Chain A
Amino acid sequence: MSLRTVRSETPRRAASSGPGHSRGVWSSESSVSRRPDVVVASEQSLPERDEFELVMPGGTQAAAKLAGRDPGTNIAVLRLSQPASPPVLVPGETQAGALALALGADGTGGVSARLGLVNLAGTQWHSVAGGLIDRRIVLDLRLGRAEEGGPVFSAAGAFLGMSTLGPRARVLVIPAATLERIVPILLKEGRVARGWLGVALHPVAVPDALRETAGQASGMMVMSLAEGGPAAKAGIVAGDIVLSVNDAAASGFRRIAGQFAADSIGRKAALRVIRGGNLLSLDAVIEARPPT
């Protein structure tokens, strides 16, 4: 899939539900099915509604409907009522120390630009919401909230991904590879299915007396359960300490997050837990994470 900028935005005046509307919105085109009517935006900055008015280059307005949103990867997709003709973007890679150019929309059909260094370029990571992001790219530049969700380019003009504001206003990039994976799913299904256990977990130290039996020094305590969720149905109770999920030690979130990809739905999650000083094994059936 190649991605193309529209430099369009949700108009600030039309957006009535509060601040943080996405301004850096742009279009994508799949190489499989050409979609000049598709616009990509930052999910966290897009208001909760189905219809949008976008400001196109030059200031004209265009109506768009929400096609899908995925909080897990911060990707939202809109469908324009009229096809646009944005330039073709060529995806590329980057490395730490390279230059990056982040574009945003100024709200009247123009562009804002920010230049900075690639602070970090690492491997894949999981977001708190459970999404898998293909590369960790952090930029050493400042970005206004209004500019979030625009395309990021390398100095050579290659398309790196979509700008996203992280904690403490750090600027992250949702890489082109992740957009290529998620956008088609959102166009087809409106959301991205993920496995779900229905528990809130908090890392804890395994008490000294149980360390040898547990075979590990830390686990995840069940802080709360979703009523009728997979874990509750399997007999997990609040206060249980999860030691492993399908043989993946629950000593870090990243390690167990890999157990809950879309293809995990319907599969068994074998849970090894400590309850009241005893080791227990319980089986849960992974369900689809309900829409938030």
Chain B
Amino acid sequence: MSAVPQAVPALVIRVLVHATDPVRREVLRQLVIDAGHLPVDSPMDADAVLSDQVHAGFAAMPEHSGQGLFTPRELEVLGAIGDGFTNKMIARRLEISPHTVKFHVESLLRKLGARTRAEAVAKAREHRLSNTVEL
């Protein structure tokens, strides 16, 4: 088998790399070079920006209908799933029966529209980030 060819893009894009951490910045710069594009230092010269910051934009306070909210217990179960706990381990940690844990997990998956535990954790993180407000 032949070696993986160096990426040669149809169009070389001048990319401004932005990261506060210098190590991270170097990693991103190398990424740009490996892809056959050109890292630049000034926004003036750049066609695109590669940044480690998520520019979420100016957002409104989240509003919810009251439907599909998690109960405090479900949040605890969700946290435990995120820590990689099995139902049996969660039952021990929260001092409830494995049957009850199963019930909570099913409810969580339904509310999040997730098919797997991993999907539930990913969706829950997003949900939590966008629905937690500091007052």
Chain A residues in contact with chain B, CB under 8 A? 12-13, 15, 18-21, 44, 74, 107, 125-128, 130, 136, 145-146, 164-170, 172, 196-197, 199-207, 217-218, 221, 223, 239, 241, 251-254, 256-257, 260
Number of B interface residues in the complex (CB < 8 A): 32
Shortest C-beta distance, A128 to chain B (Å), equals 5
- Decide if A126 touches B70 in the complex (CB within 8 Å): no
Question: A172's contact among B20, B46, B58, B131, by CB below 8 Å, is which?
Answer: B58
Which stretch, B49-57, B86-94, B112-120, touches the partner chain A? Answer: B49-57
Contact B71 A205 (CB under 8 A): yes
Comparing B2-10, B31-39, B59-67, the segment that makes contact with chain A is B59-67
Question: A-B pairs with CB below 8 Å: how many?
Answer: 112
Chain A residues in 8 Å Cβ range of B70: 204-205
**Pairwise interchain contact A200-B66, C-beta atoms closer than 8 A:** no
| B11 lies within 8 A of chain A by Cβ | no
Main secondary structure of the interface of A (DSSP, over half): mixed
- Check if A200 sits within 8 Å of B132, measured CB to CB: yes
Say yes or no: A257 contacts B61, CB within 8 Å. Answer: yes
A19 in contact with B58 (CB, 8 Å): no
Q: Which residues of B contact A (CB under 8 A)?
A: 16, 18, 20, 42-44, 46, 49, 51, 55-64, 66, 69-73, 75, 128, 131-135
Give the distance in Å from the alpha carbon of A15 to the alpha carbon of B46 in the complex: 13
Determine whether the beta carbon of B135 is less than 8 Å from that of A170: no
Contacts of A13 in B (CB 8 A): 42, 44
Asked if B63 and A44 sit within 8 Å, CB to CB, the answer is no
Which residues of the other chain, B, contact A125 by a CB distance below 8 angstroms? 60-61
Report 9 cross-chain contacts, Cβ distance below 8 Å, ordered by A residue: A13-B44, A74-B58, A125-B61, A127-B61, A128-B60, A128-B133, A199-B135, A207-B73, A253-B133
Is the Cβ of B57 less than 8 Å from the Cβ of A166? yes
The residues of B that contact A130 with a CB separation of less than 8 Å are: 135
A207–B18 touching, CB < 8 Å: no
Q: Note all chain B residues with C-beta closer than 8 A to A74.
A: 58
CB pair B132–A223 under 8 Å, yes or no, is yes
Minimal beta-carbon separation of B18 from chain A (angstroms): 4
